[in-house]
Amino acid sequence: SSCIKDDMLRKAIESDMDNTDEGQIKPSIPSVQEDQPPWRESFQRVIRKLTLTQASSDAYDDYVALVGRGKEQGEISSFLRAAIKGANNSCSDGSTSSSLFVAGPPGTGKTVSVCSVINKLQQEQVEGLLPDFDFFSLNGMEMRHPFESYVKFWELISGHAKDRLAPEVAATKLDRYFSGTFFKDVPRRSTIVLMLDEIDYLVTKKESVLYNFFDWPKQSFEVQHGPRLIVIGISNTVNLPSQLKASVRSRLGSARCDFKSYNVNDIIKILTNKIESDSPNYKVFDKHAIVFASRKVAAVTGDIRKALQTCRAAAEAVFQQVEKGTRKDKPGNPIVTIKDVQMVCREKIGSVMSNAIAFSTPFQALILVSLGALARHSGREMGFFDIGELMTKTEAVANSSGNLEYTPAPSFHELLEILIRLAEARLVRLHTEKSTSSSFRCSQGGNGGVWPLITLNVDECDIVSALKNTPHSQLVEKQLSGSLF
């Protein structure tokens, strides 16, 4: 079904909230007190609290059972405790797993859950409750090329950040290190826990990078005296193992922890807790506004980061309106209402870009919808795709549409020409750097990708909204509207 209009959703929420029973979820936002702090200070604190950086550091600095993630945190903690203790007991019979695969859609708390657990275990280590271990993290999306991860990992282990070794040299040193070779100028470490985030971006044509990173733990456990390696691989692609070679799958092992998208209730609790914690005496957000933002996000992606961004933008908009004197609704006692959140959602895409999408030609609409479908189903956070992937997807979408307007799908040269026009309209972005690894398939091109990598410059929901009343409504409804309102 297509998106419900915001006004209808707003009225439904207000009706539900006004008739809520005690047993149902009621975000507990404190009422305004006479001794409340100035609204300006409260708004500023809440805006800072809703930043993505602050949200991550909160869970890392102080271990807490994240909303809706207690089970997953427990699984990660149990795995790490067993692995660290097993490693320090020189367990080489394979009874202690040394690799954990963590998977789930973007923005579901995977990385922050792991970091929060690590922080708690580090505290226990200081108290003498857990054997010594060193923690390092790498993010595949931050690498210029998948093979650069070898260099970064060796720099972390050795402490020689200025050496700038070639990837093949770093890989050789790592292989020797986890095979028991002693390096005089490298610190002795008993156990190393590596969080390998965004491993989707480390897939190469031969899959050698992932193979090595998940083979070194097994290799290190076979050595009597030497550093032990434990790897936690985090992926946005739930079925990534099934896409890999059998040799890589065997190295990944069977231990895994799956994260599901946040539901409406989880998002309401998270937003309410964050807003209340930094503004206990002033009501910055109306409860209806929080529920509206939560339902909008839960229906599309369940990505908590989208909810944080939406609420922060709404709070900033109200703050600026009052500062400029343009706020008509309670300017001396401002509060973020459901209408403010609605406005932010509508302004995410300007009228010019909305019209550009709405007046797309059949092939342009086909490509935009195909890119949106690729981003949704691949789980790649940044959504960079190569020409081959896009051609395959457009052909599949066109053939399944049953509409002759989209068939035959654009040829290679036609696709390039249309992409250039869409890029000029700022609906897509094209990347042509030869050394980038931003695409899951970047290394397939042999020299780092000859043809441009493509990503949408608008949200999937914006495409649905712009095309829902056009001749392309059936196409977008079939491919992108399945989980929307």
pLDDT digit string, tens, across residues 237-260: 888 999 899 999 999 989 999 999
Task: Give the pLDDT score at 429.
Answer: 84
Q: What is the mean pLDDT of residues 113-129?
A: 93
How many other C-beta atoms can be found within 10 angstroms of the C-beta atom of residue 136? 16
pLDDT over 90, % of the chain: 41
Task: Give the pLDDT score at 281.
Answer: 84
Q: How many residues does the chain have?
A: 485
Give dist(CA 141, CA 195) in Å, integer. 13
Mean pLDDT (the chain, rounded): 81
- Beta bridge partner(s), residue 233: 101, 196
Task: Give the pLDDT score at 265.
Answer: 94
Task: Give the pLDDT score at 148.
Answer: 92
Note whether 111 and 234 are within 8 A (CB): yes
Confidence label for 166 from pLDDT (cuts 50, 70 and 90) = very high
How many other C-beta atoms can be found within 10 angstroms of the C-beta atom of residue 176? 12
Q: SS3 of 104, please?
A: coil
Residue 282 has φ and ψ, to the nearest 5°, of: -140, 130
Note whether 426 and 352 are within 8 A (CB): no
* Buried/exposed 92-102: b ≥16 CB within 10 Å, e otherwise: beeebbbbbbb
pLDDT of 450 > 60? The answer is: no
pLDDT over 70, % of the chain: 80
Q: What is the mean pLDDT of residues 184-207?
A: 88
- 134-139/228-235 β-pairing: unpaired
Task: Give the pLDDT score at 221.
Answer: 87
- The pTM of the full predicted model, rounded to 2 decimals, is 0.67
Query: pLDDT: is 436 or 98 the higher one?
Result: 98
Give dist(CA 373, CA 5) in Å, integer. 22
Q: What is the mean pLDDT of residues 68-86?
A: 92
CB under 8 Å, gap of 24 or more: what pairs does 155-161 form?
Answer: 157/186, 157/187, 157/189, 157/192, 158/183, 158/185, 158/186, 158/187, 159/186, 159/187, 160/185
How many other C-beta atoms can be found within 10 angstroms of the C-beta atom of residue 324? 8
* CA nearest neighbour of 396 among 384, 385, 386, 406: 406
Q: Which residues contact 224 (CB under 8 A, 6 or more apart)?
A: 90, 92, 180
Burial class (CB in 10 A: 0-12, 13-18, 19+), 315: buried
Task: Give the pLDDT score at 294.
Answer: 93
Give dist(CA 471, CA 20) in Å, integer. 41
Task: Give the pLDDT score at 90.
Answer: 46
Task: Give the pLDDT score at 34.
Answer: 45
Sign of the Cα pseudo-torsion (362, 367, 372, 373, in order): positive
pLDDT of 53 > 70? The answer is: no
Q: What is the mean pLDDT of residues 52-59?
A: 58
Angle, helices 473-480 vs 387-401, to 10°: value is 120
What does the block give as tokens for 130? 């857990």
In order of 190, 212, 230, 333, the CA distances from 87 in angstroms are 8, 19, 8, 58
pLDDT of 309 > 60? The answer is: yes
Query: pLDDT: is 386 or 163 the higher one?
Result: 386
Q: What is the mean pLDDT of residues 277-301?
A: 89
Cα-based torsion angle of the residue sequence 18, 21, 26, 28 in order, rounded to the nearest 10 degrees = 100
Task: Give the pLDDT score at 95.
Answer: 43
pLDDT of 63 > 90? The answer is: no
Give me the residue label for tokens 């000029």.
424
Give dist(CA 397, CA 477) in Å, integer. 12
Task: Give the pLDDT score at 469.
Answer: 86
Confidence label for 140 from pLDDT (cuts 50, 70 and 90) = confident
pLDDT of 155 > 60? The answer is: yes
pLDDT of 236 > 50? The answer is: yes
Query: pLDDT: is 443 or 393 the higher one?
Result: 393
